[in-house]
Amino acid sequence: MANRQITLAQRPTGMVDQSTTSLIDSPMPVCGPDEALIKVGLLSIDPTIRTWMNDAPGYLPPIGIGDVIRSGGSGVVVESNSERYHVGDVVNGMTGWQEWAIASESNKFTVLPKGLGLDLATVMNVLGATGLTAYFGLLDVGAFKEGDVVVVSGAAGATGSVVGQIARARGAGKVVGIAGGEEKCSEVVEKYGFDECVDYREARLTQRLREACPKGIDLYFDNVGGDVLDATLANIAMHSRIVMCGAISQYNATERGGVTNTSMLIMRRGQMKGFIVFDFAHRYAEAHVELAAMVLDGRIKHQEHLVPGLEHAPDALNLLFTGGNHGKTLVVVDESVQLD
């Protein structure tokens, strides 16, 4: 039996295309001492994968040419020589874009709890990296306070939709989303319960944000960077907090746009702070309890955008940049892998 893998053939300029990756058959990995063999079920498709394809400094090293594309994912343990994993455990970790992965001391996986009443795709979404990013980004990095006027970009996406719903549940004064197009904006209001949503593709974004937040923005959760960040900076309230979570508008960009309104941080005594969700790894269990409860009692609505077939992982990644995804993007490598 072979292990189908997707490797990095060459570094992309702009969007990933057919020359970026190769689909190859490799020998099945062998489960060594203290290791476990994992059959991959779902891949988490995250914008950061695109940044790892660049030969540029980041929070993890670039993916090497010829290496399997680095990616989060989940799967089931089918063989184990490790006390950490048992056959049948469903695990989450860095699977890479491939059908079979090895859990080892240098690539540890988390065993997912069964019996939560949540399916695997939901766990990968709300209890996975994006839900955790929303939780810690809003509450810790953004120091959210009841009554805050909160603005979230990428509001119809995996991270943004959860940010707005936690803010709503915790008593925000107002929650305003920013998303691309009429359909996404109505999803943000009608499905996720934001008070309002502003379409960044339409003109006069700065003015429309001013109309939505006449007293200013207390907390801006930035998933996008670039012009959208600039328009929100122009509208911050006194002592505003800006959470630098992502800059998806820049990941494929061949030229970087300048942000011009940083002087507003001085005038309004504002703060901007970046973070990576891994910074909070020691506190994931705490977030899992609250996020699972919020999904089960309906305070967090969610949706998963399932793309069938490992070979479609590069197309799935591109969906994040065209806005073709609705909710958390996951590639289904093997649908037999389930949590319950």
Ligand X SMILES: NC(=O)c1ccc[n+]([C@@H]2O[C@H](COP(=O)([O-])OP(=O)(O)OC[C@H]3O[C@@H](n4cnc5c(N)ncnc54)[C@H](OP(=O)(O)O)[C@@H]3O)[C@@H](O)[C@H]2O)c1
Residues that bind ligand X (CB under 6 A): 46-48, 129-130, 133, 154, 156-160, 179-180, 184, 200, 223-224, 228, 245-249, 275-277, 320-321, 323, 325
**3-class secondary structure, 75:** strand
Q: How far is the CB of 90 from ligand X (least distance, A)?
A: 21
Identity of the residue, 82 or 153, whose beta carbon is nearer to ligand X in the bound complex:
153
Distances in Å between the Cα of 264 and the Cα atoms of 225, 230, 268, 313, 331 are 16, 10, 6, 40, 41
Identity of the residue, 168 or 184, whose beta carbon is nearer to ligand X in the bound complex:
184
Identity of the residue, 105 or 183, whose beta carbon is nearer to ligand X in the bound complex:
183
**Residue ranges in the chain assigned as alpha helix (H):** 48-52, 120-125, 129-136, 158-169, 182-186, 205-212, 226-233, 248-251, 263-267, 284-296, 313-322
Q: How far is the CB of 253 from ligand X (least distance, A)?
A: 8
Identity of the residue, 82 or 128, whose beta carbon is nearer to ligand X in the bound complex:
128
Q: How far is the CB of 68 from ligand X (least distance, A)?
A: 20
Identity of the residue, 184 or 288, whose beta carbon is nearer to ligand X in the bound complex:
184
How would you class 244 by CB atoms within 10 Å of its CB: exposed for 0-12, middle for 13-18, buried for 19 or more? middle
Distances in Å between the Cα of 317 and the Cα atoms of 52, 101, 188, 242, 329 are 12, 20, 22, 26, 8
Closest CA to 44 of 71, 83, 65, 81: 71
What DSSP state is assigned to residue 155? T
Q: How far is the CB of 30 from ligand X (least distance, A)?
A: 33
Q: How far is the CB of 325 from ligand X (least distance, A)?
A: 5
